Amino acid sequence: MLAVCRHLVAADAALSVTVVVTEEWHALLESAGVPAALPDRISFATIPNVIPSEHGRGADHIGFIVAVHTRMAAAVEWLLDRLLLEQKWRPDAIVADTYLAWGVAVGARRGIPVCSLWTMAATFFWALYHFNLWPPVDGSESEQEREYVPNYLQYLENLLFVILPKYTCLNENENLEE
């Protein structure tokens, strides 16, 4: 996320970014010298430690996930209220990790546009987006699914050919020894 912030402020001289982290994470970042290494237009704002500590959170992973999805939203809303009251400042947009679904709801309640940042590989997003086309566990498949896979393989061959000009596509009609 910090790399994205660096790219954003480098692309627009008028832009400033505030990264929201827990108090614990802010202390960890400060001890590593991260804030000092960032451009001046990237700052941090903290929310209380509403999620289990970084130290030992693996002992209760389910508790951590539940806390992230239930307690962080209220803490971020509190922070937005504080920024508005104390600094007379309201963000122009919110960039939230896709997995933090409450980020969209927070922005919607306040009339702030929200950008959902997908932090996983694009191919993983593609797989989830086309989840309905995955073959069922029992091995039965629909006509649409039978047609889709060969079409996708042809698309993939063409894509690889464009991206990797020296890539050689072999199909079932070509002989490897020729």
- What is the phi/psi pair of residue 175, to 5°? -100, 135
Which residues does residue 113 pair with via DSSP β-bridges, in sequence order? none
Last residue of a domain, one of 117, 145, 172: 117
**pLDDT of 99-118, one tens digit each?**
898 999 999 999 999 998 88
- Counting the structural domains of the chain, the total is 2
Q: Is residue 129 located within the same domain as residue 80?
A: no
In a domain, 41, yes or no: yes
pLDDT at 178: 45
Q: Is residue 108 located within the same domain as residue 145?
A: no
**pLDDT of 118-163, one tens digit each?**
888 888 888 888 777 776 666 565 666 555 555 555 555 554 444 4
| Span between the terminal Cα atoms of the chain, in Å | 49
Q: Is residue 67 located within the same domain as residue 129?
A: no
In a domain, 177, yes or no: no
For 135-174, letters b (16+ CB in 10 Å) and e give: eeeeeeeeeeeeeeeeeeeeeeeeeeeeeeeeeeeeeeee
Residue 41 tokens, joined? 């237009």
This prediction has a pTM of 0.68
Q: Is residue 61 located within the same domain as residue 101?
A: yes
